[in-house]
Every structure is written in structure tokens, then in C-alpha cells.
Amino acid sequence: MTPDDLLFTKEHEWLRIVGEAGTIGISDHAQKELGDIVYVELPKPGMKFNSGEPFGSVESVKAVSELFIPVSGEVIEINEDLGAAPEKINEDPYGAGWMIRIRLSNTDETGDLMSAEEYDEYIQEAAE
Amino acid sequence: MIPFSGWEMPVEYSGITKEHVAVRTAAGLFDVSHMGEFDIRGPEALDLIRHVTTNDAANLVDGQAQYSAMAYPHGTVVDDLLVYRHHAEHFMLVVNAANIEKDFEWINSHNRVDATVENVSADIALVALQGPKTIDILQPLTKVQLRDLAHYHFARGSVLNADAIVSRTGYTGEDGFELYLSANESELVWNGIFEAGASFGLVPAGLGARNTLRLEAKYLLYGNDMDGTTTLLEAGLGWIVKFEKPDFIGRDALLKQKQEGVKRRLVGFEMLGKDIARDNYPVFVHGREVGHVTSGAPSITLKKNIGLAYLPAEHASIGTTFHVAVRSKLAEARVVRTPFYKREDHQ
């Protein structure tokens, strides 16, 4: 189920790396836990973050959750569509619901992230 | 599922937004069996209720219900509740789940008149059918003439052959009924209502939608919007405090506060930007922290972000702006008229 070209954080963000660029969003598990998403606050292109820093927040009807960047980098693009249609995060968390694209500062930083398989186990364990 | 006062309660079934919209446009069915019920009986039942509650149950007729509260001697809130009058010597109080034990002890400790007080919460299930299609769905299932029951009135009858108290009350801001049932028959009734309601767009609704619906209608939530630290007058519940009544717990303190003027008031507000105020976010007036958001959420019906908070009385009039700390920034909010939402077909 979970796309196997993604890496995951314990905070339920995903990262897809293509060359030096990384696309970031939240997992299907996270969107289900949050429920109907009504607002997402994203950084501006050009902003730089260190691995693990908060880069924005996502709000559902019932809760707010901070977003943590999986790896260090500079924001090169944000998903403008989410401003008018944040529900895309619920509908297609790994596709149209992507949040930001970054240029990675260091492509060797991914060691702490989980593979899709490891992430599925991680949320299984958390449920038990 | 979240544990709530010993009950496993669904926060949502199909999604809070969908459930919320269904209640505003069609109907939703809530299982609120966690609420507590006390039977008060005997020739002294009314005396006891008049003493421990702030509204006046002497104004009730048989088959009528009343929103009321119990106050501490200093005027703060023990609980808010509904008082049902079956007949002159038999009343039912409906209290919040988290307060059942506290309320039961409180009432008993002030029972100077030897009324019989029985906690029947475990025997009674409560199902709330709410929304504009309620009567269409429920009428074929009961002989109780639903259209003849006025708001805040109830009848004893049967629903799907199960004994029920059919009460025209609710916590959503829509027309609707609450059905008090025997705990062992509630599942049958719940399932039967679903079968009957499917073609009307009826959906099961959870605690999440219950909260967003009640906030739009500005029904207060005990533990959030008022509690043992806030008085009934500060909470805007002066309309259920009947000073004409010679004696009730909290009367002296509340009367004094009324005469001196309240120093802070619970207000409804909307956010001026896109930020969502959540429960417990700090509230600032002129850079000074004055309290916190007691309830805050996106309003699904109004597409605005709304909430309730206590503000200093001199800063609580409609249109006044203040700030809510939303994580690292101060976001602007404005005091607005409440309820935020009022249904148009109000009877």
C-alpha cells in the first residue's frame, strides 16, 4: 500500500528524493488520524531548515499538527493548490497532497529515516 | 476511539465534516449514553431540586424539561444539567458524564428534605436524533405525536416497541429529539432508526461533530467553557439563575456579583485571518495575557474559525478585537454576536 520509493519520519512525514530535490508530505496514516484537513501553513520558497525543524503546520477540524522536515534543505517550491484545496492531503497524501519541494543540503542525511516497510511496521507497533 | 469517562466513544464515523453537514441538512444519530441520569422522587423532590439548582423547577409542568445548573456557594459551576418533570413528585436530572459521581454526592449532601435520589445512569441509554429530517425519520417509528411536542417538552411512549422518553431537546442547534431508553433495548432502536433514516441521508455522528455543532450554536461545554472556577454570570448563564427564588445554593454570591457587575465575560469570537484558535490557546488584550480559549474550532457551517474565551468585561463588547496566541504568533480575533449559527426554521 505505502509507496516504496518514499522515506518516512517518526512524525509521519514522507520524503521522495529525485537527484538533489526532495518532495515532502504527510503519510496516509497521518491524514487519517487528523481527519478532515482544513488548513495548511507552509514556508516560503528560499527558507532553509535543518533536519527535524518545524517547517509548517497542518490543521484538521479536530486538531493541529506541526510539520517537521525530514532532512536539511532549502525550500524551492510549495504546493500552492493546498491553499484553496487542503482536502487534497486527505484525498491523495502521496500525490496531489504533497506540501513542499526542497533542495537537499546533504544527501547523506537520510540514515535515520524509515523505508516504507519499516514505516508500516512502526505504525503497526504504535497501534498495538 | 477515545476513552471518555469510562466509555469508548467514537470521535468520528465517516468524518467530522460530513457528519456535521448531515446534521445541518438532513440528520445525524448520536449515542450519548455516557450522560448521567438521576431520578428524584417523593413529596420533597421539588424542594430539593429548587435548593440545589439555579433555574426554577417550580415553573415546570408535567412533561416539560428545563436547562439549569448547580452552583457552588461562591457562584461557580458544579455542573450544567437538564431537569425533567414527570409529575409533581418525580423528576429526572440529566448531568454530564464526567460529573456523575461528583453531582450525586453533591445532591445527596444537600438533601435536607429526604427526597429519594437514585443514580440510574447505568440503566439508561441516550440516543440523540438531530437535524431537519428528524421528524420524517422518527414519526413512523412511534405513536408519540412529534410535531405536537414543543421544544423542551417530552412524552413517554415507545419507539420501535421499546419504552422511551421522547424529548424535544438537543445539543446541536438543530431541531431534534433525544430518546432515553432502557440500556438493553438501545441497540435495537439505534439499528431501527438507521434503517428508517437511510433514505433521508441519516448518518451516525460522533463526539467530534457533536463538539463542532454545539460550538456553532454556542452551547457551553462543562470543563471547557465553565467549571468550578467560573461563575454562571461570567459564563453568560444569568438567564438560568432565578433570583426570585428565595433560597438556592450560590444565590448570595451570584446576587452580589450581579449587583457589583461581572469582571469578565465569556464571549464568542471569530478569527480575522486563517489561523484556527484551539482550546487552551492563550488570549491577549493590549499585549497582556488575560486568559485562554475555552473552545475553538473551524466552523464547518460558516467557514470561519470561531471560539469562546473569557475577556475582561470592559473589553468584551461586540466588535472589540484582541489576540490569540497561535503557536509562535499573535493572531487577531474579534468579538461577535452569538450564537454563531441559528437555524432559520426556528419554531
Residue B141 has pLDDT above 90, yes or no: yes
For residue A113, what are the contacts with CB-CB under 8 A and spacing of at least 6? A7, A8, A9, A15, A70, A71
User: Model's pTM, two decimal places?
Assistant: 0.92
Q: What is the pLDDT of residue B10?
A: 73
- In chain A, residues with a C-beta closer than 8 Å to the C-beta of B274 are 39, 41
pLDDT in tens, B144-182: 999 999 999 999 999 999 999 999 999 999 999 999 999
pLDDT in tens, B17-32: 999 999 999 999 999 9
Residue B3 has pLDDT above 80, yes or no: no
In order, the DSSP letters of B300-332 are TTTTEEEEEEEEEGGG-STT-EEEEEETTEEEE
A-B Cβ pairs (cutoff 8 Å, strict): 36
Element (H, E) at A92: none
B328 band by pLDDT with thresholds 50, 70 and 90: confident
Q: Is B206 on the interface with A (CB under 8 A)?
A: no
A71 band by pLDDT with thresholds 50, 70 and 90: very high
Of chain B, the percentage scoring pLDDT greater than 90 comes to 93
> Mean per-residue pLDDT for A108-119?
92
B84 band by pLDDT with thresholds 50, 70 and 90: very high
Best to test chain B binding among A34, A38, A60, A91 (most B CBs inside 10 Å) = A38
pLDDT in tens, B179-196: 999 999 999 999 999 999
Q: What is the pLDDT of residue B41?
A: 98
Q: Looking at the complex, report in whole angstroms how far the Cα of residue B264 sits from the nearest Cα belonging to chain A.
A: 27
> Mean per-residue pLDDT for B221-243?
98
Above 0.95 for ipTM, yes or no?
A: no
Best to test chain A binding among B274, B299, B304 (most A CBs inside 10 Å) = B274
Pick the CATH number of A7-106+114-127 from 3.40.50.720, 1.10.260.40, 3.40.47.10, 2.40.50.100: 2.40.50.100
B276 and A64: CB-CB below 8 Å?
yes
Mean pLDDT over the full length of chain B = 95
CA-nearest residue to B1 within chain A is: A33
- Measuring CA to CA, which residue among B39, B179, B41 is closest to residue B115? B41
Q: What is the pLDDT of residue B7?
A: 54
B208 and A64: CB-CB below 8 Å?
no
pLDDT in tens, B205-215: 999 999 999 99
A107-116, B90-99, B246-255, B290-299: lowest mean pLDDT where?
A107-116
Out of A59, A61, A64, closest to residue B208 by CB: A61
Q: Is B303 on the interface with A (CB under 8 A)?
A: no
Please count the CA atoms within 13 angstroms of the CA of A37 that sit on its side-chain side: 26
Q: What is the pLDDT of residue B347?
A: 45
B300 and A61: CB-CB below 8 Å?
yes
CA B201 to chain centre: 25
In whole angstroms, give the CA distance from residue B245 to residue B238. Answer: 14
Q: Is B15 on the interface with A (CB under 8 A)?
A: yes
Mean pLDDT over the full length of chain A = 94
First and final CA of chain A: distance in angstroms?
Answer: 20
Out of B274, B298, B327, closest to residue A61 by CB: B298
Residue B4 has pLDDT above 70, yes or no: no
Q: Delimit the domains of chain A by residue range.
A: 7-106+114-127
Q: Is B208 on the interface with A (CB under 8 A)?
A: yes
CA-nearest residue to A39 within chain B is: B274
Q: What is the pLDDT of residue B337?
A: 97
A39 and B276: CB-CB below 8 Å?
yes
Q: Which domains does chain B have, with CATH numbers?
A: 2-215 (3.30.1360.120), 263-347 (2.40.30.110)
Residue B1 has pLDDT above 50, yes or no: no
> Mean per-residue pLDDT for A9-27?
96
> Mean per-residue pLDDT for B303-329?
96
Q: Measured at the alpha carbon of residue B6, what is the angle toward residues B2 and B12, in degrees to the nearest 5?
A: 30
DSSP SS3 for B92? strand
> Mean per-residue pLDDT for A110-127?
92
Element (H, E) at B106: helix B100-109
A108 band by pLDDT with thresholds 50, 70 and 90: confident
What are the residues facing B124 on neighbouring strands? B182
A36 and B15: CB-CB below 8 Å?
yes
Q: What is the pLDDT of residue B8?
A: 60
